[in-house]
Amino acid sequence: MTRSLRPAVFAALGILATFWVQYLAVRPTNFGGWDEWLVIDLTWRGIVGLPYQNRPFSLAFTQPGALLLPGTLRGYWLANALYLSFTGALLYRLVRRLAPGRPRLAFLAGVICVSWAPLDETRLDTVLVAGYSGFTCATLFALVLFLESAHHRSRLGLGVASAIGFLMIRGLEATAGLVLGAVLLPWLSPGLDRRTRVRWSAVWGVTTLAGALFAAVPLLPGRPGSYQVAALGFDPDPWRVGSRLLRQLGFQLGPLALPSPSELLAPVAAAAGAAFVVAWVLVRRGEVEEPELSLAAALRMAGIGLGMAALAHGVMVLSPRILTPARMQILSAPGIALFLAAVVAGIADRLPRRGGAPAVALLAGSLVAMGAGRTAALQRAWDAKSYWAAQDRSLFGLTREAPQLEPHTFVLLLDEAGAWPAAFTFQHAVDYLYEGRARGSVWGAVPFLYPIQVEADGIRSIPYESIQGPWRVPASLYGWSELVIVRQVASGEVAVLDEWPEALPPLPPSARYAPRARIRSGDPRPAEHRLLVGPRGPTR
């Protein structure tokens, strides 16, 4: 290893080590109850687009979760971890370009990036957010490649970076603010001539603006409408947008003012803080003497970081219904991390020379420990509210009662346990476990994506038109003899009902309900899908 490469390697290893110390406390069974089975089913089937959201490859970064460790939730857990940790390493490289000669500032930014998202509990839902963290990682990669191509005058690199930026916006429109704002990066990076800055900014700006226009097509007059606007609303009033932005920034910075002593005393907090201090010592030993960070330079980098965070929030704060930090501290984490790193470095460099390094270790180490303690606290909250146990018991009981089903069977669940808040969640779980031979719904649950209607000849499933072709789920009528009614009682026990229940509309006089004829009781349960563990099984 060359002497010039050694500091960067130490920094990357330090970022990864600090991340993994705290991430090992996160469980792959953190289920919010809604989207997880949709993600699992669609990625298993190789489907990456969400057409009802105008996102043609929204699940592209979730796909590795199904491939890394097939048949287990650990694959999504691992994919999410790789994305989050690599984002910190990419931020390190980005800061090295924006602030040449400040490797320790870059290291601090990378470490804080993988440690600090204090109130976003959704980032621990690894099945759901592996896609979001993947888009964040790929967006940072595009920004780094964009700057590197400018410094090396590489037109190929510029083309690839711009194409990735375009694809990020098309896959997840929330990236638009950060991607479009990156047009300023060549002007913020020292060492580039004006001609290069103009050319690179022009190519990047035109390409990524095209992606934003494609993403905005559903907003045009005469279009059928946007899922995002229908679900989240649209309020571009500058004052209210600014208020919501300040609220989100407060969610990320406010917890610094009131650290929890109990969280700081958690073992994972001490371990993460110690990992940072060891990495900090190694990084300092590997670097040449670094000049003092002037107040102007510290303010400049803090401003860039705060600007990145604001741009990352920019699209989402257009919604008047986003009032919590859920899903809001993943894309904005790099910007907040750079801001905090500049503040820490700026404070430390105002101290006497011998006190600067210990001050950084104390300030940044405390921040890392606080972030790890918050992660552990959020995980304890997930342990109490995750839908995994209830849904696992429900599906385990279903596959015990009905090991296999005849093709074109419809499973209707009477959910007295409250395990399934939305019908589409159960539909995708059934599709996954029975490999497309059956569909399912939950009576009385939110009918999103897969509404059903009772007709004279049976129950008709009418998926949204936008997903029928791409997801291969046409509207279908299931006759009364093709139904299997299942009840899950409050205790969690599941049973197939042999008699038509009073909770449902009465059967027509000529109808025949024969659930046992739809069940292949002699066949084993779907052994290739090993996600389910049952009421006494181990957490996987």
CA distance 259 to 262: 9
Residues 6+ positions from 79 with CB-CB distance below 8 Å: 61, 62, 64, 65, 68, 126, 130, 134
Higher pLDDT, 488 or 5: 488
The per-residue pLDDT for 495 is: 95
> Phi and psi (nearest 5°) for 159?
-65, -45
CA distances from residue 493 to 321, 378, 386, 391, 535 in whole angstroms, order as listed = 37, 29, 18, 11, 10
| Between residues 83 and 363, the one the model is more confident about | 83
Confidence of residue 216 (pLDDT cuts 50, 70, 90): confident
Tokens 């399912």 belong to which residue? 440
Amino acid identity at 226: S
pLDDT band for 69, please (50, 70, 90 cuts): confident
What residues contact 343, with CB distance under 8 A and at least 6 apart? 298, 302
What's the pLDDT at 77? 95
What H or E segment, with its residue span, contains residue 495? strand 494-496
Q: What angle do CA 96, 100, 103 make, to 5 degrees?
A: 55
What is the rounded distance in angstroms from the CA atom of residue 186 to the CA atom of residue 194?
Answer: 9
Contact criterion met (CB below 8 Å) for 339 and 102: no
Q: Which of 117, 141, 218, 240 is nearest to 173 (CA)?
A: 218
Residue 526's pLDDT is what?
Answer: 63
* Structure-token pair, residue 367: 């921040």
Residue 447: how many CB atoms within 10 A of its CB? 15
- pLDDT at site 228: 65
321-366 tens-digit pLDDT:
888 888 899 999 999 999 999 999 888 776 666 556 677 788 888 9
- Mean pLDDT confidence for 500-509: 92
Domain ranges of the chain: 6-385, 388-518
Six-digit token string for 481:
């003899």
Average pLDDT of the chain? 89
Dihedral sign for Cα atoms in the order 161, 164, 169, 170: positive
The answer to whether residue 222 scores a pLDDT higher than 70 is no
Q: What pLDDT does 538 receive?
A: 41
CA-to-CA separations, 313 to 176, 307, 340, in angstroms, rounded: 10, 10, 17
Spatial distance between the Cα atoms of 309 and 336, rounded to a whole number of angstroms: 6
What confidence score (pLDDT) does residue 415 get? 95
Contact 208, 165 (CB under 8 A): yes
Around Cβ 539, how many Cβ atoms within 10 Å? 12
Q: Using an 8 Å Cβ cutoff, are 12 and 364 in contact?
A: no
E strands within 320-475?
409-415, 438-442, 452-455, 458-461
Query: Strands 483-488 and 409-415: what pairing?
Result: parallel
Cβ distance 283 to 107 under 8 Å?
Answer: yes
232 vs 280, which has greater pLDDT? 280
Reported as a single tens digit per residue, the pLDDT across 147-191 is 999 999 999 999 999 999 999 999 999 999 999 999 999 999 999
Q: What is the DSSP letter of 480?
A: G
CA angle 20, 26, 32 (to 5 degrees): 140
Angstrom CA distances, 126 to 10, 80, 322, 329, 485, stand at: 28, 6, 21, 14, 32
Share of the chain above pLDDT 90, in %: 71
- Element at 22 (helix H, strand E): helix 6-23
What pLDDT is stored for residue 539 in this prediction?
Answer: 38
What's the pLDDT score for residue 276? 92
Q: How many Å apart are CA 245 and CA 213, to the nearest integer?
A: 23
Round to whole Å and give the CA distance between 131 and 133.
Answer: 6
DSSP state of 330: S
At 225 the pLDDT is 57
Closest CA to 98 of 109, 88, 87: 109
Q: Tell me the three state secondary structure of residue 521.
A: coil
Q: Of all residues in the chain, what percent are helix, strand and coil, respectively (each to 5)?
A: 60, 5, 35
- Sheet order of strands, 483-488 included: 438-442, 409-415, 483-488, 494-496
- At residue 533, the pLDDT reads 64
Q: Is the pLDDT of residue 528 over 60?
A: no
In 3D, which of 138, 49, 141, 56 has the Cα closest to residue 92?
141
| Percentage of residues in the chain having pLDDT higher than 70 | 90
CA distance 436 to 243: 46
> Beta-carbon neighbour count of residue 410 at 10 Å?
26
- 8 — pLDDT class (breaks 50, 70, 90): confident
Q: Is the pLDDT of residue 540 over 60?
A: no
Do 424 and 449 form a contact (C-beta atoms < 8 A)? yes
Which residues lie closer than 8 Å to 492 by C-beta, 6 or more apart?
390, 393, 394, 397, 417, 419, 535
0.85 exceeded by pTM: yes
